[in-house]
Structure 1
Amino acid sequence: MSILRSKWVVLSPVMVAIVVLIFSLVLVPTVHPKPQKLPVAFVNEDEGVQLPNQPPINMGKNIEQAIQNMAKSNAAGKDQPPIDWMQVDSENKAKKGMDKQHYYGALIIPKDFSKKVASLQTPRPSAPKVKIVVNQGMNAAASAIVQQILNQAADHINANVRQQLLQAMAKKGGMVTVEQAALLASPVEKETAVIHAVGTHSANGNAPVSFVQPIWMASLAAAALLHLAMDRRAFAHRREKLAAQVMKTVVGLLLALIAGFGLIGMADAIGFHIPSFIDMALFVSLAFFSFFAIESAVFGWIGLKGIPIFILLLFFGAPLLSMAPELMTSFYRDWVYSWLPQRFMVEGLRELFFFDPTFQWNEPVSVLCWLAFVGVVLVIVSAFKKRMVQESEESGKLVTS
């Protein structure tokens, strides 16, 4: 029964409770993700129509006004609306914005919308169309929500046009042609297009997130092993310690290339769709070295006691990395997700997978380079820090003696 008197046994329930609490918090953002202000483009290209003895008709303007009124009503309420409508001048500009990941989708009213609505009351009706464009590559889950909301908006437009058509026909005595009757149930057609599709070999669009864990853990293992190798060596002078830190950085670069090309090669072999092998391997290598640099910097200053920090970053970050920021609560979006270094790897890989396969200077690359630079500087400075500690200890011994 002596084991029950051990302080570790007494502390074990507390430790279990703390661990359960910490890892339960990881699940909070995924329980009930609620969309908030997903940016969606609205394009009204409707040129209107002029009917004899009637004022000009522009159905697109009416729809635009209804959306603006809805946005104002949502802004006045307490809850954030699921969609943040962004007025865009043309379909071309909206698609360019989606190429730059500014919008999750677009609702487009074509030029001839009013003209075709007017034709529904003629013997030769032509069904008007609304265009729905979904930017799937930005986030598969968020784009699915946007597509559902845009379909509902199109259905609402369809119901309004049908109601107006019925009222107009009632004034004319209710007589309809066979063609008009065929269009009466659903007078407005929906034309849906998916751009930057995630395809069938990208883990349902989660390939960028899937690559984070192996790179993060591999960089952590490399940083810990190289720290142990350095920590167990005795350096005769500061110059030797500094040279060893520089050599560790060079070894980290070589390991980054091995990890980057190795992971992308393995992913390609098991069936992932890799748009550009070299570009993606180089970016993953950059991400590995960036992680390795900041991990080595922490180890250089506080030792391997920093490992739990990076383990917690992985576990807290993993559920968030697959979510669109607009699906998170404000706390997780502003205070957790925004501080995750892994998110820049995910954003860069998403760009390479679904938008532009060319490795180029952009925000994720810029941030990862800065993280790597700061990490390397701190690693090198840590050599001087340890030397200064030794000198102060030695001077203290001399004074004491």
Structure 2
Amino acid sequence: MFKIFKQAGVWLAMVAVIAIIGIFSFLQIGVKNNIKLHQVPVALVNEDSGQTSTKLVKQLKKKFAGHDAQIKWVVVKHQKDLKQGFNDKKYYGALIIDHDFSQQLGQSQNYLKALVTKDKLTAMVQKNAALTTSLSPQIKAAEAQLAQTPTSAKMTVIVNQGMNATVAQALTTALPAMGNAMNQKISQQEKTVLQQNDVSLSAASWQTISNPIKVTQKKVNKIPSKSVSGAAPMLTIVFAWLGSLIGSMLLWRVYHKNKPNGRWTIKHITSQLLAGAVMSVVVALSFYFFAHTCFAMAVPNASEFIWILMGNVFVFFLLQTCILDWAGFKGWPLIIVLWLCAAAVLAYAPEIMPALYRNWIYSWIPMRFSADMITNALYFTNGSATTMSSAWVIGIIGVVALILIYLLPLKKDRQGILK
């Protein structure tokens, strides 16, 4: 019974199982359990020229100055410049300091001083009526200051949601927290001053000064509600790769078995590629029908989406067909490994991946450029400069695969596993 364990094939099978489980764990678990923000580009706009805002900007830069900092500030001079930067994916979010930030905080501080001054002077007059005449002008000045109700200094947080749902969710929490922390700090300082001077305030008066900073949140390039929680681009690429993979495998089997005289010819290859082009149209239209028509996935511009999807499916087909035509069925594992690598990282922004996955997997997988194009079509309805650059990369990959496929007639044919 135990003689079977003396055969090398049994041990090779066990090694293969361990290796496959290890690779799957590395790709599917390793990256997900090590996600954290790292040097995420966020625009910092200071539209105020006061000392308070300038000091605040210096503090923010100092806080996130290290190489391992979660946020990388990108200084932008004017808020109007943010729109194009968001569309071109230069930053995931923005923190904007309003133009009268320092002035509003100054008014809040003056209001607090007036409260303390009036309270003390009033107490002095009550103890000694003879001081009424001399202190009356100061009391009136304090009352005049109190008549000017201060308004909260404003900060605005903008999140570029369409860039990546995971990062957007993190910044939606982190950026407002910065403003709220400053608000609580200043509010606590004001409360301490009042307690030290034994000043009691009514609820209405405390409400006036208790929120010196107000943080407003906005989102741009929003992810629609029916977009699979922001995973629509990732799922689109999954179906595009899967559809092209099924098509390329079936077409390769048919054309491999029916090669003229057992050799690849230009005419035979052209026929295979034309069949692949038709298959790409079928895959794109099928996905659009089921995803949008049947399950209401949000697609702002149907024609743009379908054309981009068809182009990417065809490039995937060329890539897979190139591997299969040259390597035969033995090339199948390479196609699977390529897809597993892509599936492990496509859902994440490069700034939140561990360096190992970012530099050695994400940097070279072609599907990331396809995902960028699909993301722009679904979420960046005002257009993005990255669409054209990604299209060029995908196009070059397709052309290289196409050239290699047409070089097949120069290869000495060998019998494949599938006939």
TM-score, length basis structure 1: 0.86
Moved more, 349-358 or 37-46: 349-358
Tell me what 1:247 maps to.
271
Q: How many residues align?
A: 374
| Pair 1:70 & 2:63 matched | yes
Tell me what 2:391 maps to.
365
| Pair 1:217 & 2:242 matched | yes
Moved more, 290-299 or 220-229: 220-229
Write the distance in 2 (CA, Å) between the matches of 1:214 and 1:142.
Answer: 24
Residues 185 and 196 of structure 1: CA distance in aligned 2, closer, same or farther (over 3 Å): same
Paired residue secondary structure (1:347): helix
How big is the shift at 1:212? 1.6
CA contact (8 A) 1:293 1:372 kept: yes
Tell me what 1:318 maps to.
343
CA contact (8 A) 1:88 1:94 kept: yes
Moved more, 103-112 or 159-168: 159-168
The one of 92, 105, 116 aligned to 1:117: 105
The one of 30, 43, 57 aligned to 1:28: 30
CA contact (8 A) 1:36 1:81 kept: yes
Q: Deviations over 1:62-98 (max 9, x none)?
A: 11111222244x24xxxx1000011111111123211
How big is the shift at 1:111? 0.7
Residues 169 and 230 of structure 1: CA distance in aligned 2, closer, same or farther (over 3 Å): same
Question: Identity across aligned pairs (percent)?
Answer: 25
The one of 386, 405, 419 aligned to 1:379: 405
How big is the shift at 1:225? 2.2
The gaps in structure 1 that reach 5 residues or longer are 49-57, 391-401
Tell me what 1:183 maps to.
208
Write the distance in 2 (CA, Å) between the matches of 1:242 and 1:359.
Answer: 38
Write the distance in 1 (CA, Å) between the matches of 2:338 and 2:174.
Answer: 34
Tell me what 2:116 maps to.
none
Q: Deviations over 1:350-373 (max 9, x none)?
A: 111111276996122111111111
Moved more, 84-93 or 217-226: 217-226
Tell me what 1:265 maps to.
289
Write the distance in 2 (CA, Å) between the matches of 1:231 and 1:237.
Answer: 8
The one of 336, 342, 352 aligned to 2:361: 336
Tell me what 1:59 maps to.
52
CA contact (8 A) 2:87 2:383 kept: no
Moved more, 244-253 or 276-285: 244-253
Residues 129 and 226 of structure 1: CA distance in aligned 2, closer, same or farther (over 3 Å): same
Q: Deviations over 1:7-56 (max 9, x none)?
A: 543433222211211111111010131110000011000143xxxxxxxx
How big is the shift at 1:334? 0.9
Q: Determine which structure has more spread, i.e. the larger CA radius of gyration.
A: 2
Paired residue secondary structure (2:260): coil
Question: How is 1:194-209 mapped onto 2 (pairs within 5 angstroms)?
Answer: 194-209=219-234
Write the distance in 2 (CA, Å) between the matches of 1:158 and 1:261.
Answer: 52
Write the distance in 2 (CA, Å) between the matches of 1:98 and 1:262.
Answer: 32
RMSD of aligned residue pairs (Cα, Å): 2.6
Write the distance in 1 (CA, Å) between the matches of 2:370 and 2:214.
Answer: 40
Write the distance in 1 (CA, Å) between the matches of 2:36 and 2:355.
Answer: 11
Matching residue's letter, 1:11: L
Write the distance in 2 (CA, Å) between the matches of 1:180 and 1:61.
Answer: 29
How big is the shift at 1:60? 1.3
Write the distance in 2 (CA, Å) between the matches of 1:359 and 1:334.
Answer: 24
Residues 212 and 181 of structure 1: CA distance in aligned 2, closer, same or farther (over 3 Å): same
Residues 271 and 320 of structure 1: CA distance in aligned 2, closer, same or farther (over 3 Å): same
The one of 184, 192, 202 aligned to 2:217: 192
Write the distance in 2 (CA, Å) between the matches of 1:175 and 1:70.
Answer: 36
Tell me what 2:372 maps to.
347
CA contact (8 A) 1:297 1:382 kept: no
Question: How is 1:290-329 mapped onto 2 (pairs within 5 angstroms)?
Answer: 290-329=315-354
TM-score, length basis structure 2: 0.82
CA contact (8 A) 2:280 2:313 kept: yes
Matching residue's letter, 2:26: L
How big is the shift at 1:5? 6.0
Write the distance in 2 (CA, Å) between the matches of 1:359 and 1:178.
Answer: 50
CA contact (8 A) 1:38 1:326 kept: yes
Paired residue secondary structure (2:314): helix
Tell me what 2:70 maps to.
82
Write the distance in 2 (CA, Å) between the matches of 1:60 and 1:177.
Answer: 30
Residues 252 and 358 of structure 1: CA distance in aligned 2, closer, same or farther (over 3 Å): farther
Write the distance in 1 (CA, Å) between the matches of 2:236 and 2:266.
Answer: 33
Residues 171 and 113 of structure 1: CA distance in aligned 2, closer, same or farther (over 3 Å): farther
Moved more, 112-121 or 354-363: 354-363
Residues 154 and 38 of structure 1: CA distance in aligned 2, closer, same or farther (over 3 Å): same
Paired residue secondary structure (1:362): helix
Matching residue's letter, 1:368: I
Residues 176 and 93 of structure 1: CA distance in aligned 2, closer, same or farther (over 3 Å): farther
CA contact (8 A) 1:279 1:359 kept: no
CA contact (8 A) 2:234 2:347 kept: yes
CA contact (8 A) 2:150 2:209 kept: no
Tell me what 1:46 maps to.
48
Tell me what 1:226 maps to.
251
Tell me what 2:131 maps to.
none
